[in-house]
Each structure stands twice: as C-alpha cells, then as structure tokens.
C-alpha cells in the first residue's frame, strides 16, 4: 500500500513545470536551513524564518497570515491540526493552491489565513483580510520599486484607496441567501467555504493580488507574473511632471477593465494642472488621440470618469461603441458597462449654435451620464434612476457640479499617423481649365515642382 501511494504533496506539486518546481524547492531549502535540535526531524520552517526571508517586503500581518494558511493545510488539501512549523509538503501544496489552484483550493487557503478553526468566519473578518491583502499589494509594489511611475498614495484629503478597493472587492461577495456584503449591517453574517469559493471566482482581483504578494514578496516565480498588464507604465513629459488624481490602486482597478491590448501603458494627453482650464485646449489635445480615459475630480472630492474606446472626433453626432464604460473611483469604486438601450456612447462638439457644445458620455442631450460643458469647469451627471446607456448612478456629488481637476490618459500604443491624402489640383482634373490658363499667357508655376497624384 505504501508503494502505491503518492508522496505527500506530489499531486499538488505536479502543477508546476520542472523549472518552477525547482525554484519552489530552492525557496523551501532557504527557509528550512535554520538549525534544529534533532537532525532526524523532518525539514520545515518557522514563522520567524519566513519573516526573516521576506524582511520588509511585506507587512508583518500578511506574512503571519500566509504562514497560518500554509501550516493548516497538508499535502492532500485537507485541514490540518495546529503545528508550529511548515513542512515541504504543506509549502508546496499551499503555493500550488495560491498560484495555480482552482477557486475551491484558493478559498481553502484563504479560510485558513483568516480562521484558526477552518470553520465559517464573520464577514467582518473577510473584510479585514481583504484590507490587509490590498494594503500588502501597495506595500510590496512600492518596496520592489514596481509602481511604474504611479503614486502609492492618493492625493491629500482623499479617502484611503485601500479601504475603497477592499470595499469594492467585498461587495462582490454573495452571502448565504444571496445578499451582498453592502454596509455595516452585513458584517456579522457568516461566510463558509462555499461563500468564499464563490467570492474568489467572482472577484478575480483576490487571486491576482495573492499571486502578486507571493511573487513579489517571496521573490518566487516572478517571471510568471504579468506585472506589465497589471500596472501600466505611466508616460508623461518628464519636463512637465505633475501629481495625478490617480494612485496605483485606482489605476490597477481601471486598467483591469480595459481591453487586453490597452493595458501596457498610459500616456497623458491633457491635464488642467499642465494645460489650463480650456475646452479648446481639451479638444485640440484629445482629438484623434486614440482610446483614452477621461477623469474628473469635482469640488466635493468625488473622482469619476469614462473610457472612450476610440479616438474622439469633434462632430455633432454620437460616436464610439459598446466597449465604452463609465466608472467611479471615489468615494466608491465601480465600473458601469453598456446596457444596450442606445448607442449614445461618446459625444464631443463645439462651435455649434443649435445643439449642445461639450463632451458627453451616455444618456442624451441635456441629460448625460457624464457631461463636461464647453463653459469649462462645470458639468453634470444625471441619472434618474440610472444612465440609460451605461446603467450608472449619479457619479458626482451634485447633479450639476463644478470641477477644478481633469485628466485624459490615452491607453495602449499611440495610433499610427494617418498619411496625408494628396489632393488633386483643378488643373490636373480639368484640361479645359489648363488650356485656358496657358492661352492667357500664364504658365503653371508648380509644374515640375510637385508630383501629380495618381488616379484613385
């Protein structure tokens, strides 16, 4: 029977490629190298050894949570009794669960990171775990210098983006009975493993953030982390640097909702801090600039905006497609996608007397989900009860709002410049006009100096 049974942890470790498994083994060797009293004791490591290896890369609370999650799981994936150390089988199984496992396996480790008993936990305990996880993401990205130009903190006076994003992630949880984790009244509800498994499946950021914490915190299998698509490169003229409305967490959240090919870099097109409070400047800088994000902070501190899926054009018709969306960053994070009710995705116009002049997204004239007036510095967000195009609520603090800060970021690679179309002279097209010119004794001054366009 002993020969037919697989070695503890073997089934879990099989998910790793040979090179990956070798790296996992090397990390365990480093962690378990501390001297023990008995040479016969199976190799294992302590919390102290893990904290010594991680150092300041992660908050101490998160290192403790990860250690607790590992020591309560055995190689078969079942709950294990209390132990003061983590064996190689436990370590391999835990890394396999968190980096390559299913939602069920990840939820097992998360439950053990939260609860000593492995039983149901209160929603408030899950909420605290989520805040610790989100905070660890900011911490380790800053420590490893992987912020890619973004700030680790929101602008002064803004609410904690750690708490805001943690609340957003927890809002995706479905409690027993189908209720959502919204508001303090839900914090005493029980969350069992089934609830956590469903949550990990719904809120994909939870698994992504756990992977990032391990990759960057433990310096394990970092080559498999697609950090470039998680945190886009911030591209701003180095001679005109400025403090953005956005911090790294809000950037990560918005970036995850963009089309895959648009997630690698963000290029600043317009910022009131650099380019002034001018609608003409706004139009001139964003027209034909490619897909972009429009971002506002109103005078009450609400931060919100929209994603334009194609280049803005100044014209009196609606434009764009169903990849557009509206979003909120503060006081809450949310993304609102198209409902299919109408195609009023984007609108940009100026210089007209009979139709509205301004920038709008969703809804209709005079009743946009997001509107920036040509009289720059004011706008509206109207939704009774929601915007027809995007299903979004009122994004601003006041329905008619004032703002002082606005930014527009082009996302992805810059669009290729369209070739200048050669236009044909009337003299090229009309032989009679050319003959009349020559009969009058005047020659063609451009003859021989320009290339006559080909026939289309």
| Residue 308: C-alpha distances to residues 190, 259, 290, 409 (Å) | 41, 11, 9, 10
Q: State how far the Cα of 80 lies from the Cα of 430, in Å rounded to an integer.
A: 90
Quickly state the pLDDT bin for 414 (edges 50, 70, 90).
confident
Do residues 357 and 376 touch, judged by C-beta distance below 8 A? no
In this model, does residue 4 exceed pLDDT 60?
A: no
Cα dihedral value 189, 192, 198, 199, nearest 10: 50
pLDDT the model gives residue 17: 92
Please state the domain extents for the chain: 10-227, 257-411
- Quote the pLDDT of residue 11: 47
Distance, in Å, from the CA atom of 245 to the CA atom of 241, rounded to the nearest integer, reads 13
Q: What are phi and psi of 293, to 5 degrees?
A: -110, 130
pLDDT at 3: 41
For every residue of 380-417, DSSP letters joined together read E---SSS-TTT-----SSSSEEEEEEEEEEEESSPPPP
Measured CA to CA, the distance from residue 169 to residue 239 in angstroms comes to 37
CB 348 within 8 A of CB 313: yes
Q: What tens digit of pLDDT does each residue of 54-68 get?
A: 999 999 999 999 999
Whether the pLDDT of residue 39 is over 70: the answer is no
CATH match for 10-227 among 1.20.1530.20, 1.10.238.10, 1.10.30.50, 1.10.472.50: 1.10.238.10
Local structure of residue 184 (DSSP, 8 states): G
DSSP letter for each residue of 66-88: HHHHHHTB-TTS-B----SSEEH
Q: Is the pLDDT of residue 454 over 90?
A: no
Parallel/antiparallel/unpaired status of strands 265-271 and 233-235: parallel
Rg of the chain taking only CA atoms, in angstroms? 29
Residue range 224-240: mean pLDDT, rounded = 91
Joined together, the tokens standing for residue 82 give 């209390």
Average pLDDT over all residues of the chain? 87
Q: 119-148 as b/e, with b when 16 or more CB fall inside 10 Å?
A: ebbbbbebbbbbbbbbbbbbbbbbeeebbb
Q: Is the pLDDT confidence value at 439 over 60?
A: no
Decide: helix, strand or coil at residue 303: strand
Banded pLDDT at 6 (limits 50, 70, 90): very low
Instruction: Mark out the alpha helices in 191-233 (DSSP H runs).
Output: 193-202, 204-217, 227-230
Region 263-277: mean pLDDT is: 96
Residue 105 clears pLDDT 90, i.e. is over it: yes
pLDDT on residue 186: 78
Only one residue has tokens 């995706």, namely 172
The average pLDDT across 99-126 equals 90
Stronger pLDDT, 74 or 115, i.e. the higher one: 115
Model confidence pLDDT, tens digit, residues 241-261:
889 999 999 999 999 999 999
Three-state DSSP state, 238: helix
- 118-132, 216-230, 408-422: which range is least confident on average? 408-422
According to DSSP, the β-strands at 121-122 and 358-364 are unpaired
């Amino acid at each position: 029977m002993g020969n037919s049974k697989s070695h503890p942890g073997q089934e879990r470790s099989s998910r790793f490629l040979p090179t990956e498994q070798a790296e996992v083994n090397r990390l365990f060797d480093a962690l378990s190298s501390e001297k023990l009293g008995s040479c016969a004791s199976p190799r294992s490591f302590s919390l102290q050894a893990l904290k010594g290896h991680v150092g300041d890369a992660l908050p101490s609370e998160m290192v403790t949570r990860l250690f607790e999650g590992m020591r309560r799981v055995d190689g078969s994936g079942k709950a294990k009794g209390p132990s003061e150390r983590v064996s190689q089988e436990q370590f391999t199984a835990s890394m396999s669960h968190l980096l390559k496992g299913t939602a069920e396996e990840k939820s097992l480790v998360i439950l053990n990171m939260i609860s000593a008993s492995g039983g149901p936990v209160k929603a408030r305990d899950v909420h605290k775990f989520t805040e610790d996880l989100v905070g660890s993401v900011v911490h380790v990205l800053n420590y490893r210098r992987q912020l890619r130009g973004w700030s680790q903190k929101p602008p002064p006076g803004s609410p904690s983006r750690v708490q805001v994003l943690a609340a957003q992630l927890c809002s995706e949880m479905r409690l027993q009975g189908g209720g959502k984790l919204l508001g303090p009244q839900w914090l005493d509800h029980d969350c069992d493993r089934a609830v956590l498994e469903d949550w990990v499946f719904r809120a994909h950021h939870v698994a992504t953030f756990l992977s990032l914490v391990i990759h960057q915190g433990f310096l394990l299998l970092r080559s498999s982390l697609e950090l470039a698509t998680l945190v886009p490169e911030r591209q701003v003229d180095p001679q005109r640097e400025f403090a953005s409305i956005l911090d790294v967490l809000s950037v990560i959240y918005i970036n995850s909702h963009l089309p895959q090919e648009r997630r690698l870099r963000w290029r600043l097109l317009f910022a009131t801090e650099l380019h002034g409070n001018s609608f003409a400047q706004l139009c001139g800088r964003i027209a034909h600039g490619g897909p972009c994000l429009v971002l506002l902070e109103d005078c009450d501190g609400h931060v919100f905006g929209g994603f334009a899926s194609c280049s803005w054009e100044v014209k009196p018709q609606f434009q764009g497609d169903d990849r557009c969306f509206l979003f909120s960053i503060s006081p809450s994070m949310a993304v609102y996608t198209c409902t299919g009710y109408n195609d009023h995705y984007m609108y940009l116009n100026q210089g007209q007397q009979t139709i509205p002049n301004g920038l709008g997204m969703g809804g209709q004239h005079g009743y946009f989900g997001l509107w920036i007036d040509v009289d720059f510095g004011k706008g509206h967000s109207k939704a009774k009860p929601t915007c027809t195009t995007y299903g979004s609520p009122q994004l601003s603090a006041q329905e008619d709002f004032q703002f002082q800060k606005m930014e527009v970021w082009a996302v992805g690679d810059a669009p290729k410049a369209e070739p200048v179309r050669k236009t044909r002279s009337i003299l090229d097209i009309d032989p009679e006009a050319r003959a009349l010119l020559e009969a009058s004794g005047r020659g063609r001054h451009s003859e021989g100096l320009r290339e006559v366009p080909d026939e289309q």
